Amino acid sequence: MNSEGNPVLTLAWTFGLMSLFAVGGANSAIPEMHRVAVDVQHWLSDKQFADIFAIAQMSPGPNVLIVTLIGYSVAGVAGALVATLAMCVPTAVLAYGVSRLLTRSSHSRWPAIIQASLVPLSIGLMGASGLILAQTSDRTWTAALVTAVAAGLASTTRLNPFWMLLAGGCVGFAGLIG
Amino acid sequence: MPPDSPPVAVPAPASPTSAPPSLIALFVAFAKMSLAGFGGVLVFARRAIVDRHRWMTAEEFNETFALCHFLPGPNIVNLSVVFGSRFRGIAGAAAAFTGLVGPPAVVVTILAALYARFGEVEALRRILAGISCAAVGLLLAVVFRMMMPLIGKRDLVGLVVMAAVFIAIGLLRLPLPAVLLVAIPLSIAITTAIRRRAAA
């Protein structure tokens, strides 16, 4: 599939482009990461993708570091470094440029309109992330139940998410997820 | 690092801001908030920038975050760049960015190496499977919370756009750039038209 090129270059190109299309943050880009990493490039299996998502959620730092894990599994430390920079730098440069521009004309109404237009898009994208991850993770009834309970608790209480991840890990360790 | 919560308004106390931070202070502050940032870095960023260091008022912080939220890419990464550059130009942006991404990226790389080595161990596989189920639940909770205002406002256009993107990406698995190149101009055009009509 990927015979024509250097995998590190493929990582740079893939995530560099994705960076500019991640409307609403890293979690909006999860369907695209899954499509590229699992379906197109065959870097990871479905199960490995779900594992990597779990590791990223358990780690400190911004959500975007899921690409560090994908990069590592493709090309080791170099892959991790390149994927991380490719996902962060283009949008960082854009943010720098836009913030310079906006301090000069801060009373434009465009930011408000753009934001109002993009919020529904990013919710749709994150919903799709949830669906794709649920399809890979929730293969049994207990698994779906863990997801539902975590979603319910996180929506209705201010419980630290760490405890829900820990509880999920314990249920998994007990062999109840299958 | 479960998904960051959607931006919430913070009451702005009229506290004066302190002197602009040095490059090293920027790096250290962002490294600390990033490594502490379990449950979303944003909360820790606000606490450090507004409450502890008083580098910005809550109002300035909200404005900066709103800007970063509509830009593509990881919001908090954008925030570090915009914030750093406001005080120390490009060097400040680089210092804040490196502090935010560098240290946790090292941690995650070590975890990636451990996973590559031990990922097939049965107990670890089971634990990760359980964690990912819970993590999906956390993500869904964020989606629900963000959807509520759209439903509350009966924002039909927003809900249709949301559903269309969900179907295109989640069910049809179309490539993201193609979907967004259609959806973004369309959504902006409709929103602009509706606001014009409302204003007229």
The answer to the question of residue A175 being in a domain is no
CB contact under 8 A, B74 and A64: yes
CA A6 → CA A33, A45, A49, A85, B11, distances in Å?
A: 19, 20, 22, 17, 51
Kindly state whether residues B165 and B96 are assigned to the same domain: no
What are the pLDDT digits (tens) for B62-111? 777 777 777 888 888 998 998 899 888 899 999 999 999 999 999 999 99
Given an 8 Å threshold on Cβ–Cβ distance, is A60 in contact with B36? yes
User: Does residue B17 or residue A71 have the better pLDDT?
Assistant: A71
Are residues B111 and B27 both part of a single domain? yes
| Residue after which a domain boundary falls, among B73, B101, B118 | B118
Cross-chain residue pair B136–A147, CB shorter than 8 Å:
yes
For residue A27, the distance in angstroms to the closest alpha carbon of chain B comes to 7
Say yes or no: B105 and B159 in one domain.
no
- Closest-CA residue to A90 (of A173, A38, A15, A175): A15
What residues in A contact B78, CB-CB < 8 Å?
91-92, 95
pLDDT score of B11 more than 90 = no
Distance CA B111, CA A55 (A): 8
Last residue of a domain, one of B60, B93, B118: B118
pLDDT of B27 strictly over 80: yes
How many separate domains does chain A show?
A: 1
Nearest chain A Cα to B40, which residue?
A: A62
Among residues B60, B92, B118, which one ends one of the domains? B118
B75 close to A (CB below 8 A): yes
In a domain, B18, yes or no: no
B27 shares its domain with B112: yes
Q: Is the pLDDT of residue B136 over 90?
A: yes
In a domain, A40, yes or no: yes
Kindly state whether residue A52 falls inside one of the protein's structural domains: yes
pLDDT at residue B7 tops 80: no
- Our count of domains for chain B comes to 2
Task: Show the domain range for B199.
Answer: 155-200
Q: Is residue B166 part of a domain?
A: yes
Residue B1 has a pLDDT of 55
Tell me, yes or no, whether B99 lies in a domain: yes
Radius of gyration for the alpha carbons in chain B, expressed in angstroms and rounded: 20
Residues 94-123 of A with CB under 8 A from B: 94-96, 98-100, 102, 111, 113-123
Mean pLDDT of chain B: 85
Q: Which residues of chain A have pLDDT under 50?
A: 1-3
Residue A72 lies in a domain: yes
Q: Which domain holds residue A27?
A: 7-108
Q: Helix A110-137 vs helix B58-70: angle between axes, to the nearest 10 degrees? A: 70
Chain A positions touching B184 (Cβ under 8 A) are: 23, 117-118, 121
DSSP bridge pairs for A23: B72
Q: Is A90 inside a domain boundary?
A: yes
B159 and B107 within one domain: no
Contact A121, A23 (CB under 8 A): yes
Q: Determine, yes or no, domain membership for B2.
A: no
